[in-house]
């Protein structure tokens, strides 16, 4: 979801429209309590060793070399006025990814150096909630006219891995223009490749899985799920193949492209707008909330 990424994803959407939707609707689980502990084997039988886990008993943002999750795209400058690491203009997104430390544009007032107090993250009962909502009217000028704020978490500063099994258990938001995702990007900040473990646009009963590469065409696959439940979205990435799973059920398999053999890190976010998701409108329920029960990663054991 960096510059240029979603432009290619628009092509993937067209391909996804042609892909056959899986017939069965996966039931999922009604709440975060139903989650299981770390896996010993992947759904296709590979032995696993846990290398990363956040159960979100608290939210641990990355600050001053400590913590887990960066809340901006890439490793941007520390200047809180730089919005380039807080949205993707090339994709016509309408939101800024904000956090409690974010300042707005200065207006020559004494209080303009203070954080705006925007926090899209809430950790409660072992679940991280990311919320997207319209910008408060009194802050619009400080935010360059952006209409919405939302949240992103990325493990870029704390965790990356070549190959493995990556999973997120989450309940997705609904509404026109709402675009949640869980994905992997290269630690060297190149693009492509990219693995989209899960994306959804407006309708949480439909999720899409795909990858982006210089060597293969991006073709998304639509998967039907029950819209009001938690689901586990995961991918098994080896030297030879990439396999996607939803609630432990295989939904797609591809050969690993030639440019997908380097460390990658994990991201989860809610975007708003863009050519794929469309514009939010009066029917869009705000705040739009993605609830994340956990994010985990594993290596394949010998």
| Whole-number Cα distances in Å, 197 to 80, 140, 146, 184, 246 | 30, 33, 28, 8, 9
Q: Which are the catalytic amino acids?
A: 194, 199
Which of 210, 166, 182 has the alpha carbon at shortest distance from 271? 182
Which of 273, 200, 244 has the alpha carbon at shortest distance from 44? 244
**Per-position DSSP letters for 112-147, written without gaps between them:** GGS------EEEETTEEEEEEEEPPGGGTGGGTT--
Are 43 and 250 a contacting pair, CB within 8 Å? yes
Structure token pair of residue 232 = 């586990």
The answer, yes or no, to whether the previous bond of 124 is cis (omega within 30 of 0) is no
Structure token pair of residue 115 = 């954080």
Question: What is residue 22's DSSP assignment?
Answer: P
| 215 φψ region: left (φ > 0), alpha (ψ -120 to 50), beta (else) | alpha
Cα separation of 228 and 204, whole Å? 8
Sign of CA dihedral 271, 275, 280, 284: negative
Structure token pair of residue 65 = 């070399």
């Amino acid at each position: 979801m960096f510059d240029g990424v979603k432009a290619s994803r628009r092509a993937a959407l067209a391909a996804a429209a042609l892909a056959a939707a899986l017939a069965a609707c996966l039931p999922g689980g009604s709440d975060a309590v139903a989650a299981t502990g770390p896996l010993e084997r992947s759904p296709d039988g590979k032995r696993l060793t846990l290398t990363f886990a956040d159960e979100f008993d608290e939210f641990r943002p990355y600050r001053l070399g400590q913590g887990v999750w960066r809340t901006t795209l890439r490793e941007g400058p520390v200047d809180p006025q730089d919005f380039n690491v807080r949205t993707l203009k090339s994709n016509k997104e309408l939101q800024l990814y904000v956090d409690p430390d974010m300042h707005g544009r200065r207006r020559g007032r004494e209080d303009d150096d203070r954080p705006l107090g925007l926090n899209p993250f809430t950790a409660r009962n072992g679940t991280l909630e990311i919320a997207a909502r319209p910008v408060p009217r009194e802050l619009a000028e400080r935010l360059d006219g952006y209409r919405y704020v939302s949240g992103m978490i990325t493990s870029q500063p704390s965790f990356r891995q070549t190959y493995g099994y990556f999973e997120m258990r989450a309940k997705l938001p609904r509404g026109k223009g709402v675009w949640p995702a869980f994905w992997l990007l290269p630690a060297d900040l190149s693009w492509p490749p990219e693995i989209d473990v899960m994306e959804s646009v407006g309708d949480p009963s439909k999720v899409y899985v795909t990858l982006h590469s210089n060597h293969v065409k991006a073709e998304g696959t639509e998967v039907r799920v029950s819209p009001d439940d938690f689901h586990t979205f995961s991918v098994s990435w080896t030297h030879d193949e990439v396999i996607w799973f939803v609630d432990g059920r295989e939904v797609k398999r591809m050969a690993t492209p030639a440019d997908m053999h380097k460390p990658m890190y994990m991201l989860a976010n809610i975007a708003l707008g863009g050519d794929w998701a469309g514009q939010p409108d009066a029917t869009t329920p705000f705040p739009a909330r993605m609830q994340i029960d956990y994010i985990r990663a594993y290596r394949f054991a010998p």
